[in-house]
Structure formats: C-alpha cells, structure tokens
C-alpha cells in the first residue's frame, strides 16, 4: 500500500511539472513566437526572417526612419566634369586601323570604390607651381661688423632683430651728422686758407695759428670720439693682422689727430709753407666709412623686412658633392663644376652673418693698410734728408709728422667702403622687385664662379606657357579614362603638362589614379603602371620602341600637329589617344636663359617630357644648344636630393622660386664681382699713384706743395672716377 501511495505521489508531481512547463511555453510564445522548424532552411535564413520581422515592428512604432528619408551622397565622376574640350577633340577619319577592344574586368564605379582609400595622397603628388611673370670669410671680422646685434634664429625673433637694426641705423645717423659738421667746417677752413678766400681773421692760420690748430684738432678729436668703435676695432684688427676698411680710416684719423696734438706745442709752425695739417681728408675718410655702413644697415633692414614675410622661400645653394656635380654636368663643362640650384625652405640661417660679411674692399684694406703706414713712415724719414725748407731739429721733427700724415691721407682711398656698397645697394633694389634677395657680398664670394645651374623644366615653362590644343581618341577606351591616365602619369612624374591637365580636370585632383611606378626614358617619354595596366605617354619613337599598335601615319600626325608637338598615350600595348601640345616661351624666362648663356652658365634641365630636347629648348628660347643639357633619368634621385625641401638652410641669397629671379641673382654675382674688382683696381691705382707723388715730392724737397686742398680734391676725383666707371659696367 505504501508503494502504491508513493507511486501516486510521483505521478501527481509529474503532472504538476508538466503543467508548469506548459505555462512556461505559453509565456515564451507570447514574448517570442516559435519559428516553425523547417529542415529545408538554414539557421541563418531563419534568423534573417526574424530580424526582418522585428524591423517591421520597429518601423510601425516609428523607431526607425524610412530609407527614403536618407539623402545619398553622390560622388563626382570624371564624366560630370566640364573639361572644356569643345573644339579640341579631333574627329575619327578612318585613316588608320582601330585598336583592338580591351575589355575591362571592372566597371568604373567598382574601380573607384576600390581605389577610394588610395587616393588621399593624390593632391600631394600633384605639384602646381605659380608664376609671376674670394677667400673664406673671416668669422671674427664678420662678428665685429654686427657686434651687439642678435642673429635671426627664428620667426619669433623678428621684433628683437629689427629693433637692433634700427638702433644701429640711428647711431650711425647721429654719427654721420656730427662728422658732416666737423668735416664741412674743417673743409671751409682749409679751402679758405689754401685758396686765399674770404675768411674770418680768427681762423686765419697766418694771423692766428693757435686758433686754427686748436679748431682743427678739437674737431678731429670730436670725430674720433663719435667714431670710437671704428677707431678701436680698426686698430685692434690692424694689430691682429686682420685689417679692414675701419683700420684704414682709423689709421688716417689717428695719425692726423696725433700730428695736430703735437703741433699745438708749436702752432706757429703752420705759418711755414712746408707744413700742413690734413684733418679735413681724415675726417672725410670717417664720413665715407660711416656712409658705407649706413648703406649696409639700410640694405639689411630692407632685406629683413622682406625675408620676415611669410612667402615661399627658395634658398640658392651649391651642389657641394663634387661627384654628384660632375655627373650632372658631364659632357658640357671643361672646367671644375660649380653647380647652383634652388632649395625650398622655411627659414634661412645666418642672416646677420651674411648681411655683414666682409667684402673685397676689406681684403684690399687688409693688404694695403700696413703697406701704407710703412711707406708713409719711410717717406717721412726721407724728408729729413731731402726737405731743404726746414731749419733745425724741431722743424725737421714737425716736418716728419706732416709728411707721414700727408702720405697716409693721400693714399687712404676714401671711397673704399663705397666701391662695393653702392653697386650692391643698386642691385638690391632691382632684385627685390623680382622677389630676389642678396644679403651681402658673401653671395658674390660663393656664387660668382658658378658655371652651371640645376633647374626643372617647370621653371622654364610656367603656368599658361604649355597647353593641350587638341585631342585625338584613337583606341576604344573612354576619353575620360584616357585623360585621367595621362593626367595621373604626368602629375606623378612632375611633367610640365601638369598645369594643362589641372585646367582640364577643373582642379578635381582627387580623381587622379595612383601610379604604382614609373620611369622616364630619356628623350622619349614616360612609362608607368596604373591599375595593373602599362601606360605610356611620350613621343612617336617611344611607341615604336615598345611596338605599340595603331599609330597613325607620319603625314597624318603632321596634319594634326600643325607645327606643334604630338604626344601619344598607349594603354596595355595599344595606342589610345593623341595629344597636340603647344609650348610657348615666356619673355622673361627667355631673357634670363640667354643671360645665363652669355655669362658662361650651362643650364642642366630635369624633364620627363618626351617632346623636350636640347634643340627644342634652344630653338624656342633662342639660346645656344651647347649651353643646355637634359639631366638623365638615372640622376633624377640626385636632383630630388639636392633640390628637395629642407626646414632651414644657410644661404646668402634667396628668391621666390621663379627662374627669372634665380638667374638674375646668379648673373648679378658675376657682374658685382667685376664691378667691385674694377673699383678696387681704381683705388689701388690711386694709392700707388699717391705713393709716387709723395715720394717724388719728398725727393725734390717740395712736399709742402701737397696742400690739404690738393689731397682732398685728389681723393674726390678718384671717388668720382670709381663711381662713374662702375656705373658704366652695370
């Protein structure tokens, strides 16, 4: 009985469990109806149906917007761009065999989607350039020239550097005013006494020798005081063996002032005809020295205001690697290669150093200042023997001082500071108008021997100088696809056709295809891979060399060209399109390309265009073909290395990257060297002539006839001769 009772209990419990399960199934069915089993459908299909059902319920409740509410983004296609090809596409004539159809594996939209992520760098590859139509420098001497001024080390220093330049300019202006007063006053006294002009009696050296000597000496001391930096640095450099223009001016001033101070002990000596004081010429030596420095500072100020602006800067640099320069200029130079080029940069170092660099006048002064002093002392000692007008030891000693002072001022080359700074300042005004900057004479030292330049064909053919006049579709490819392939290859390689394709594509550079690799076959054209297709863009000979099919006859090609150049595009071994290209010569480019040739500078041109060769450039620009060389493709990587962008570089010249300003600067260095050398030669001649005059007059015992007025006029005459001669060479 007990067993039967337990069995009934178990059956009751089982029934209860079955009831609970039935209720649970009912709840589940309410929440998520069971998907009927269908052995013919996969689990994924059943899940997809369930997701679709739930999305319908959500749309019904308004939780999801209809797809029609979303506005799709339409991607620009090449066919939608107005390429302004009206009148350019030549009609088919049937003169040549139609190229074999090349089926495309993918349509354009699919291809565009696959390449979307790869086209981010297209714009960077598309470079579009705008157009606007001596010995090593002594570091210590350069530092002395801009002592106390901050070097331009970054674009945060503009205000500080400009303040330093303006402060120096102000100090020099004050110095010039004081020196002009002293110089003009002593000049009037000198002219009146030597030429017997009307003069206040108190300044007459015969009537009042003490007043005359005191006035001259005080004015000389005032000139020394206001120019103490010139005197101190000049004498210091002289004793260090690095004399400069300051040394020559300081030597003349010190000798004259010392002579004046000595004469104050016996002022009546000036009444004698054999003795003179040459304070006027010495002071004017300081005046011209200060004038030269004012020119340097003003030039530096103008250059700095220009350099501190935020324009594209291209530093003019030399290719220092002799092997690289030799390879690039091989076959066109018979001399050691001095190759110059441009390098894009953000900042040019050593601005102050190059602006205040030593020049050929300083080198002349370094050699001549000790010679002038030694010869002057020798002539003074000779006067002890040959001067007959002196009587007694005192007069002979005074005469020695007078002869030394007269010889130094006679040979002191007053215009020495101007022989470089006048032509350099004139040239600077011209260069700035063409966005070119020459900081100082260091540019002449570095680039005056340049015999070759490294440039890109894009610099010879600026914007609007190259245009695609006509197109001829030959193959079965779409015209848009052909243009896109040609534009992509041209832009990637840096062809001068880039600007023409830029206009055709209306600036839509995002449409350009990636070029996997390309080479330039020298003198023929480009070969590259685009979308796994071999694409050629070049001359007829390039197509023949690659056995390309479908070329028109030469007669038909000439008919299409009408005197212009013809380029062919081939895709996958079959010619697809013919381009008629027109290239014109910019007047400014032609002018300066000729100037380079006249100055013996060979132009080494980097190009990837099949229609450009030496004869084409020579004929188009009117230059000698021997002065042009096309850079072989194997050296293009070296070209990129030498001309590639760098954050900062030290250079004494920079420009905006346009060929005319670049060529102008280089030819300017040669011209400035010639002009400066001419000026130095004239001053050296004046110095030697002065030695001869002083020696002859001493040997004849008539040195007293060399009055202060004569020596002043002698220096002024050679100043005018120098300026006039230099101006004729400009």
Radius of gyration of the chain (CA): 43
| Residue for token pair 């080029």 | 341
Cα–Cα dist 488/499, whole Å: 12
In this prediction, residues 102-106 reach a mean pLDDT of 45
Higher per-residue pLDDT: 597 or 151: 597
Q: pTM for this structure? A: 0.77
Confidence of residue 40 (pLDDT cuts 50, 70, 90): low
Cα–Cα dist 520/319, whole Å: 23
Higher per-residue pLDDT: 137 or 547: 547
| Residue for token pair 């690799």 | 517
Tokens representing residue 11 in the block:
């059956």
List domains and CATH numbers for the chain: 2-58 (no CATH), 102-129+466-583 (3.40.1110.10), 148-452+654-728 (no CATH)
* Closest by CA position to 678, among listed 418, 426, 322: 418
Highest averaged pLDDT of the listed ranges 124-133, 410-419, 505-514: 410-419
Count CB neighbours of 33 within 10 A: 10
Helices (H), 227-359: 228-239, 245-263, 279-307, 322-328, 351-355
Cα–Cα dist 272/448, whole Å: 53
Instruction: Write out pLDDT tens, residues 592-647.
Output: 999 999 999 999 999 999 999 999 999 999 999 999 999 999 999 999 999 989 98
Cα–Cα dist 663/661, whole Å: 6
* Closest by CA position to 633, among listed 515, 520, 495, 491: 520
pLDDT higher than threshold 50 for residue 10: no
Q: Which of 16-30, 270-284, 497-511 is predicted with the least confidence, judged by mean pLDDT?
A: 16-30
* Alpha-carbon distance values, 274 to 41, 186, 354, 515, 702 (Å): 133, 20, 47, 89, 7
In this prediction, residues 567-579 reach a mean pLDDT of 92
Confidence of residue 394 (pLDDT cuts 50, 70, 90): confident
Confidence of residue 174 (pLDDT cuts 50, 70, 90): very high
pLDDT higher than threshold 70 for residue 19: no
Confidence of residue 191 (pLDDT cuts 50, 70, 90): very high
Cα–Cα dist 490/505, whole Å: 13
Instruction: Write out pLDDT tens, residues 202-216.
Output: 888 888 888 999 999
- Residue 60 CB partners (closer than 8 Å, separation 6+): none
Chain centroid to CA 141: 26
Cα–Cα dist 364/441, whole Å: 14
On whether the CB atoms of residues 272 and 263 are closer than 8 A, the answer is no
What does the pLDDT read at residue 722? 92
What does the pLDDT read at residue 108? 47
pLDDT higher than threshold 70 for residue 93: no
Count CB neighbours of 451 within 10 A: 18
Q: Which of 73-82, 292-301, 311-320, 553-562 is predicted with the least confidence, judged by mean pLDDT?
A: 73-82
* Secondary structure (DSSP) of 19-60: HHHHHHHHHHHHHSPPPPP-TTS-HHHHHHHHHHHHHHHHHH
On whether the CB atoms of residues 625 and 652 are closer than 8 A, the answer is no
pLDDT higher than threshold 50 for residue 392: yes
């Amino acid at each position: 009985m007990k067993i039967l009772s337990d069995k009934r209990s178990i059956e009751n419990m089982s029934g209860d469990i079955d009831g609970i399960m039935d209720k649970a199934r009912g709840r589940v069915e309410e929440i998520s109806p069971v998907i009927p089993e269908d052995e013919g459908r996969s689990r994924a299909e059943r899940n997809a149906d369930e997701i679709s059902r739930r999305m319908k319920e959500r749309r019904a409740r308004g939780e999801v917007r209809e797809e029609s509410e979303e506005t799709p983004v339409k991607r620009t296609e090449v066919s939608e761009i107005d390429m302004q090809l009206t009148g350019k596409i030549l009609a088919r004539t049937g003169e040549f065999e139609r190229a074999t159809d090349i089926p495309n594996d993918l349509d354009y939209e699919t291809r565009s989607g696959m390449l979307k992520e790869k086209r981010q760098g297209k714009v960077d590859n598309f470079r579009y350039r705008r157009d606007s139509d001596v010995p090593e420098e002594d570091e210590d001497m350069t530092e002395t020239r801009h002592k106390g001024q901050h070097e331009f080390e970054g674009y945060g220093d503009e205000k500080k550097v400009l303040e330093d330049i303006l402060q120096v300019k102000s100090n020099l202006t004050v110095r010039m005013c004081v020196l002009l007063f002293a110089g003009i006053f002593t000049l009037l006294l000198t002219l009146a006494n030597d030429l017997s002009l009307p003069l206040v009696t108190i300044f007459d050296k015969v009537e009042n020798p003490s007043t005359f000597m005191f006035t001259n000496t005080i004015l000389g001391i005032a000139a020394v005081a206001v120019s103490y930096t010139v005197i101190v640095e000049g004498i210091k450099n002289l004793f260090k063996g690095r004399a400069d223009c300051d040394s020559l001016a300081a030597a003349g001033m010190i000798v004259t002032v010392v002579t004046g101070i000595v004469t104050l002990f016996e002022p009546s000596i000036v009444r004698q005809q054999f003795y003179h004081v040459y304070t006027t010429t010495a002071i004017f030596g300081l005046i011209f020295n200060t004038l030269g420095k004012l020119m340097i500072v003003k030039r530096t100020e103008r250059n700095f205001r220009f350099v501190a602006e935020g324009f594209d800067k291209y530093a003019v640099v030399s290719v220092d690697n002799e092997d690289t320069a030799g390879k690039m200029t091989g076959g066109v130079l018979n001399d050691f290669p001095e190759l110059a080029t441009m390098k894009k940069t953000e900042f040019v170092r050593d601005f102050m150093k190059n602006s205040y660099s030593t020049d050929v006048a300083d080198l002349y002064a370094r050699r001549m200042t000790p010679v002038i002093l030694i010869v002057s002392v020798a002539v003074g000692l000779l006067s002890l023997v040959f001067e007959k007008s002196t009587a007694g030891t005192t007069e002979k000693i005074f005469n020695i001082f007078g002869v030394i002072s007269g010889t130094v001022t006679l040979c002191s080359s007053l215009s020495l500071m101007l022989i470089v700074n006048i032509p350099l300042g004139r040239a600077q005004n011209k260069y700035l108008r063409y966005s070119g900057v020459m900081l100082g004479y260091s540019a002449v030292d570095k680039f005056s021997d340049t015999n070759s330049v490294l440039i890109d064909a894009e610099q010879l053919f600026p914007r609007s100088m190259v245009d695609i006049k006509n197109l001829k579709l030959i193959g079965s490819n779409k015209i848009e696809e052909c243009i896109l392939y040609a534009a992509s290859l041209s832009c990637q390689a840096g062809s001068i056709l880039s600007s023409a394709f830029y206009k055709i594509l209306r600036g839509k550079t995002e449409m350009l295809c990636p070029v996997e690799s390309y080479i330039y076959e020298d003198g023929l054209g480009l070969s590259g891979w685009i979308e796994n297709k071999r694409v050629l863009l070049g001359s007829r000979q390039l197509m023949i060399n690659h056995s390309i099919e479908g070329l028109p006859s030469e007669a038909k090609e000439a008919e299409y060209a009408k005197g212009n150049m013809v380029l062919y595009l081939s895709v996958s071994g079959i010619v697809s399109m013919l381009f008629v290209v027109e290239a014109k010569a910019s007047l400014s480019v032609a002018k300066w390309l000729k100037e380079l040739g006249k100055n013996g500078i060979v132009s080494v041109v980097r190009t990837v265009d099949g229609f450009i060769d030496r004869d084409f450039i020579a004929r188009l620009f009117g230059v000698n073909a021997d002065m042009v060389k096309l850079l072989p493709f194997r050296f293009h990587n070296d070209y990129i290395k030498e001309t590639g962008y760098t954050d900062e570089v030290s250079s004494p010249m920079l420009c905006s990257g346009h060929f005319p300003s670049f060529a102008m600067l280089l030819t300017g260095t040669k011209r400035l060297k010639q002009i400066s050398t001419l000026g130095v030669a004239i001053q050296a001649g004046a110095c030697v002539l002065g030695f001869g005059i002083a020696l002859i007059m001493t040997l004849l015992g008539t040195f007293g006839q060399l009055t202060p007025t004569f020596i002043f006029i002698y220096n002024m005459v050679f100043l005018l001769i120098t300026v006039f001669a230099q101006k004729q060479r400009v």
